[in-house]
Structure 1
Amino acid sequence: MPEWARTYLGSASFASAITTSIFLAGFGTHLTRALIGWPGLLAIILGLIALCLVSLWFRRSHLEWHGTLPISVIVFVGWAILSIFWSNTPTVSGLRLAYLLAFGFLGFYVAVLRDTIQVVRAVGDALRVLLGLSIGLEILSGILIDQPIAFLGIQGNLVQLGPLQGVFGTRNQLGFLALIALISFSIEMATRSIPRGMARFSIVLAAVSVLLSRSPVMIGVLSVVVLAALALFAVRRAPAASRWVWQLVLLAGVIIAGVVVWLARLRVIDLLNAGSEFETRLHLWQAMSQYAADNSLQGWGWVGSWPTTLPYLWLNITTGKTNAAGLNAYIDVYFQLGLVGFFAFVALLGLALVRSWILASDRRSVVYVWPALVLVALATVSFAESSALTESGWMLLIVCSVKASRSMSWRDALGRHDPASLPSAGSTSRRDG
């Protein structure tokens, strides 16, 4: 192989191009399937994995692998793999697990090869393109031709100010990714990573997309993320010696708020005007709980997005709707992987969130706020959607989990006592900020 090819394949610019392509593909799965179908999407994913492997091979001497993959991720994925043996549809489970692992690997590559600010830039660039395309197609559908674009799922409701779906298939998915974009664009502006004019335009684009999605779920998630951001920046401004006290106060406040929201849940649903949407979910969750009781420990086996086979066919018949997911990541995991999988998933998400929150509280750079707020968004939306278990949601969870683990790992602390395990001077795996 020519020397110039070796140099380019092992370069940061090659890794940057792959990272942006990964997020474009991950966030745009619905658009890709609508345009070229499943074969085209799978070809893109396999092509990206091949490029990632090439990049990792040429940069292997610059990477530190100690404590790279969190044990919580290994446990959850390992249990999901074992579920093939008791699944009613082992072939479907195997294929869906391969799909899960593919997006997990892409997230792993991004977390290992790119610094946090570079991840934020890649997410921002990808979502700027997709949100801009979404608004453009909504203008075309709702104003210029005044017709839905059925194959994309765009209903053409722009004149009525929503709900919009964009290129993401549903209003909830548009709202969720627009919220991730809003977090990313805000960090870009705070770190002056892009021109201020572009940053302001991007923030307006994301905020408008969230609002025009008219998703009650996303309005609730946005409220939680805003409160979390205010609390996080308050802790960051507190004296270092007293931050642990503020952390305990915040934890107590979260617990109390959770209890109050649960007790006043009917009023909250009414305020969000989400009654019918919540009733649909409640009916589905009740049906899932009944069927899950037969396999409460190990679950029915991992399938990710629901197939049209038993027991998922029973659930669709019972609820009278065709559901592609459990509309709650926690209940969905419990149904598919039982109590073991449920606690493994909660541990994975919880550990990543706690680590990211502590890092965001203690580290000076504002870029550490991004993983914490993204995980808050994922943890919150998981109460009403199963986004964290598939495609871009799972990929973001892996990125944030690996980033948090590499910066704050008990294995890293143990490794520091072994001189042979210390990173070399040329290591580039811990440059964040």
Structure 2
Amino acid sequence: MTSWSAERPRDPLRRYLSAWVGFSAGGQFSQALSVAVVLFATTTQAIRSVMGWPGALAVLGTLLVLAALSLFGGRRHIEWHGILPVSLIALFGFMAVSVLWSEYTWATLGGVAYAAGFGALGLYLALGRDLVQVVRAVGDALRIVLVTSMALEIFSGLLVDQPITFLGIRGDLAAGGPIQGLAGTRNYLGFLAALALVTFAVEFLTRSVPRSQAVASGVLAAATLLFARSPVAALAVVALVVAGLALQALRRAPERRRPLLQGVVAAVVVVGATVGWAVRRSLLGSVDGTSDVTARTALWARIRDLAGVHDITGWGFVGQWPSEIFPYSTILAPDGRPSPTGLNAFFDIWLQLGLVGVLLLVVAGSLALVRSWTTASGHPIVAYVWPALVLVLIGVTALAESFVLFEGTLMLFTAIATIAARKRSWRTRLPRVDR
């Protein structure tokens, strides 16, 4: 009698938890959660400005709990065999190991945990949703971001003619830009607009949304890109156009000729990248980016000096730079304030994780790009073009910004690397073990 009465009160709780887990694994909840994840990850800067670090971390923690419940509820439908890329595991693992030699242990612990949180959200997108659903989630989130950003810019630049300081909006829309929107900087807003262009184009081609909505979304993304006046985004869009045309040619070519064409494309990319780097000042100058090059060159020279102190393993991973900690407190932007990032993913990770970190990032990115590009060039579903083009966008942007090392771009990189491994990982050929 006692045993029966003791167990009975737990039954309603068990049923409630079971019902909640089942609901969280449902399609509508998972898709809504995916949109919320992408929306949070791409507007983290604005959320921190409004809610502070405690509020942003609370939102991140809540999303992680909901994502874990959703994955747990749908665990029987998830293919885990050989899906997590070893290169990505090695990159995050080395971030964590850098705590051992970091001279600012607590900052490194916080930076690693923060990066791991966004990496986990990326895994949720890759495991809990199929590719078309991921594209839809990214598209819906970016529509919200761009509409809100343009509304705020119109309010600031045209209606009240005053900056919205706490969001980083200067109110320069009436002068033709540059605008910052919810992104906080023109380069990140330009990156989001370029990402939106790719996403909306894939939505249009896959008929995931009504044609009128896809066209209107594309016009909005193009207008945002134009008013952002980001030289980095402008060059990235050029690379996207070239990559898109190359993929279209490969997809239309006979299968027997694709290996030869892939080799030609690879050779053109290497030559083009070499020439582009050699004339980078002229390229950026042609899109009003000369001052950006001067500031970046001075910043990278300072990073080289500091990275040489711990050139193999780096100073310890922190993600975005804490301005109060050495050596980041000594790396100043042109306005005299400490720079928040290295304005180049490779210089940035060299400072934080040394040459080992640079190698791991290059290997992880290269494997993801090769896998996604190979799949995109031959897969009959056009949605598989999206991962390859997004990785091209991330790779080109990484030469002038450090977005890939934190928050939304890190989440997208993790998700796409995992999606690419789902189709091309060598571990999928290993024998399965029944448990």
Show the counterpart of 2:387.
Answer: 371
1:213 to 208, 228, 231: 228
1:394 maps to amino acid: L
Show the counterpart of 1:113.
Answer: 128
Show the counterpart of 1:16.
Answer: 31
Once the two structures are superposed, what CA deviation does each residue of 1:19-66 show, in whole Å capped at 9, x if it has no partner? 111011111112211221111111111001111111111111222211
Show the counterpart of 2:5.
Answer: none
Unaligned 5+ segments in structure 2 are 1-14
- Work out the CA distance in 1 between the residues paired with 2:382 and 2:161: 44
1:66 to 50, 67, 81: 81
- Work out the CA distance in 2 between the residues paired with 1:271 and 1:147: 30
Task: Tell me the percent identity.
Answer: 42
> How far is the alpha carbon of 1:152 from its aligned partner?
1.0
Show the counterpart of 1:322.
Answer: 338
User: 1:327–1:143: structure 2 CA closer, same or farther, 3 Å change rule?
Assistant: same
> How far is the alpha carbon of 1:95 from its aligned partner?
0.6
User: 1:86–1:317: structure 2 CA closer, same or farther, 3 Å change rule?
Assistant: farther
Q: Please give the residue correspondences for 1:413-432 in structure 2 after superposition, counting only pairs within 5 Å.
A: 413-415=429-431, 418=432, 420=433
- Work out the CA distance in 1 between the residues paired with 2:318 and 2:48: 19
1:45 to 60, 70, 75: 60
- Work out the CA distance in 1 between the residues paired with 2:302 and 2:47: 33
Task: Check conservation: 2:295, 2:333, Cα contact below 8 A.
Answer: no
1:101 to 87, 111, 116: 116
> How far is the alpha carbon of 1:414 from its aligned partner?
2.3
2:48 to 33, 47, 65: 33
In the superposition, the TM-score normalised over structure 2's length comes to: 0.94
Show the counterpart of 2:211.
Answer: 196
User: 1:286–1:41: structure 2 CA closer, same or farther, 3 Å change rule?
Assistant: same
Aligned length: 419
Show the counterpart of 1:287.
Answer: 302
Show the counterpart of 1:341.
Answer: 357
- Work out the CA distance in 2 between the residues paired with 1:209 and 1:275: 22
1:180 to 183, 195, 199: 195
> How far is the alpha carbon of 1:267 from its aligned partner?
2.5
In the superposition, the TM-score normalised over structure 1's length comes to: 0.94
Task: Check conservation: 2:295, 2:334, Cα contact below 8 A.
Answer: no
For the aligned residue pairs, the C-alpha RMSD in angstroms reads 1.5
Show the counterpart of 2:275.
Answer: 260
Query: The residue matched to 2:174 in structure 1 has which SS?
Result: coil
> How far is the alpha carbon of 1:9 from its aligned partner?
2.4
Task: Check conservation: 1:284, 1:319, Cα contact below 8 A.
Answer: no
1:41 maps to amino acid: A
- Work out the CA distance in 2 between the residues paired with 1:20 and 1:303: 27
2:75 maps to amino acid: R
Query: The residue matched to 2:331 in structure 1 has which SS?
Result: helix
> How far is the alpha carbon of 1:12 from its aligned partner?
1.7
> How far is the alpha carbon of 1:67 from its aligned partner?
1.1
Task: Check conservation: 1:283, 1:319, Cα contact below 8 A.
Answer: no
Show the counterpart of 1:425.
Answer: none
- Work out the CA distance in 2 between the residues paired with 1:6 and 1:106: 18
Query: The residue matched to 1:159 in structure 2 has which SS?
Result: helix
> How far is the alpha carbon of 1:421 from its aligned partner?
6.3
- Work out the CA distance in 1 between the residues paired with 2:119 and 2:258: 34
> How far is the alpha carbon of 1:110 from its aligned partner?
0.7
> How far is the alpha carbon of 1:262 from its aligned partner?
2.9
> How far is the alpha carbon of 1:407 from its aligned partner?
1.1
Unaligned 5+ segments in structure 1 are 423-433
Show the counterpart of 1:311.
Answer: 327
- Work out the CA distance in 1 between the residues paired with 2:397 and 2:142: 19
> How far is the alpha carbon of 1:236 from its aligned partner?
0.7
Task: Check conservation: 1:72, 1:344, Cα contact below 8 A.
Answer: yes
- Work out the CA distance in 2 between the residues paired with 1:299 and 1:5: 44
